Chain A
């Protein structure tokens, strides 16, 4: 059975491109595009990996990450965080909240695939 990834991102064309490259690699890609109920979506979809944008409408990626880590059922879920602000501060904050990996926009498709492969053995 295919591994499942949940992409939480609000930019439709980024969703489309990332979904495309991950699908070609054999992933089952689900997407979600707002912050409000992102944690519920993670619970419902029960993915093997979450790709989480920081700048989401409704709730920031940092808050969502905290909520995910607060739930014991998802404490070990690999989370790859995407942000446009590659500042040291953001990185430190994400690490403190338990991010598995951090990636700054704009990224190359190869970077995404490498990161995803590292986080979840196919």
Chain B
């Protein structure tokens, strides 16, 4: 279809958008409504003076009507169609598509560009991992030293009547190599720790949100009293780079401000002074929902109230809020450990679960967890109910019974618990180097 053929559709779209009746526009442009109707349905070609009149009546640039704002859109669509695909594309109707569904066409164009950008990023990151010279060098060093030590140690252990000068020499070698191994391992750890900050990494909007929340230590003093500071907070955040990330942050801060208005810090502060950080007693005293209280506790300033962790998941089990507690790690992206009482709560909404937990792995501490799932909106019989589960994490009280703690993991990939009946995928820890 020729480009000019869609002028009518654009006129109609513009008119409807401006809320002008067909007869009114016809009157303003000095044509009959039935003629305008034919034009709008692309049954009559117009140009020249008539087009100028209509453009003036619609208060748009005549060029917009004749060429359409979709000129760039069409270019974008052609670009998107050039991507290798098995899908047959109606290239001859590109213009019609752009004109009739500009929103969808825009989305398609944007998505295609985003896919291209992401493909490049993935490629770059894959290359970086495969050819990262520092990583390769560090690993090579560590493995070389391990190889030398293993071989030398087994000579020392297995060779009967090893001559003293050889024994001394191998001892010296092991000593030397173990020092280099320690340095190499340290170097590797340091590198892996620093790596995320070196360059922009792939981040999901959820990651952006959590980087933002973590940068504020999950507490927003301004929002406690001034809910309208949300836009400023978001604008000032260097970690929120995508619109999706900003949108998530906007929602999260909106909830925070609402929670704060409904349960002011001063009230919560008094209740905590009376009862301590005991969710049961606080719920009794304050008469708020558990989710509300948990969110407020997670937003307390750490310096005054000590650490409080909180995990929230939606009905699909996806973690939508992660505030870790020291000694209890939360996975960044992959699915969490199904043994968490969070998921037990999700399966039994409105049933509170208290459980002492300890995570597998080194250096983890016991934590006291309080889990509960709530319906997000009021129940309707014709719609699926959406639940949200919470797991509040507090440091275990001193003298807590270590044997009573339930052993849970972080996520399967980094969990050393081999005999686990709910393991979803093998651990990367077992393989070693």
Contact = CB atoms under 8 A, between A and B. Distances in A.
B152 A84 contact: no
B140 A17 contact: no
Given A17-B173, A20-B166, A84-B139, A105 B155 contact: no
A39 B184 CA distance: 31
Interface in A92-114: 105-109, 112
Contacts of A118: none
Interface stretch (A8-16, A29-37, A59-67, A72-80): A8-16
Given A17-B170, A17-B173, A109 B155 contact: yes
Q: Which of A11, A17, A18, A108 has the most CB of B within 10 A?
A: A17
Given A13-B173, A20-B166, A84 B148 contact: no
Contact of A17 (B143, B146, B155, B176): B155
Contacts of A14: 144, 147-148, 151
B151 A21 contact: yes
Q: Which of B151, B152, B166, B170 has the most CB of A within 10 A?
A: B151
Contacts of B381: none
A11 B154 contact: no
Q: How large is the interface on A (under 10, 10 to 19, 20 to 34, 35 or more residues)?
A: 10 to 19
Contacts of B177: 13
Contacts of A105: 143-144, 146-147
Nearest to A53: B144
Nearest to A16: B173
Interface string B162-202: 00001001100100110000000000000000000000000
Contact of B152 (A17, A107, A112): A17
A106 B166 contact: no
Interface residues of B, number: 21
A68 B139 CA distance: 28
Interface in B125-169: 139-140, 143-144, 146-148, 150-152, 154-155, 158-159, 166, 169
Contact of B146 (A21, A24, A106): A106
Contact of B140 (A84, A107, A108): A84
B143 to A, nearest CB: 4
Contacts of A24: 159
B432 to A, nearest CB: 10
A21 B155 contact: yes
Contacts of B146: 105-106
Contacts of A115: none
A55 B170 CA distance: 24
Q: Which of A11, A55, A107 has the most CB of B within 10 A?
A: A11
A106 B154 contact: no
A16 B153 CA distance: 12
A83 B144 CA distance: 9
Contacts of A55: 140
Contacts of B150: 106-108
B148 A17 contact: yes
Contact of A106 (B139, B158, B173, B433): B433
Contact of A107 (B147, B158, B176): B147
Interface in B396-433: 433
B154 A109 contact: yes
Contact of B176 (A13, A84, A108, A109): A13
A103 B413 CA distance: 27
A21 B176 CA distance: 20
A24 B139 CA distance: 31
Nearest to B153: A17
Interface of B: 139-140, 143-144, 146-148, 150-152, 154-155, 158-159, 166, 169-170, 173, 176-177, 433
* The 3 residue pairs across chains A and B that have the minimum distance between CB atoms: A17-B151, A84-B143, A106-B147
20 contacts: A11-B148, A13-B152, A13-B173, A13-B176, A14-B151, A16-B152, A16-B173, A17-B152, A18-B151, A21-B151, A21-B155, A24-B159, A84-B147, A106-B143, A106-B147, A106-B433, A107-B150, A107-B151, A109-B158, A112-B151
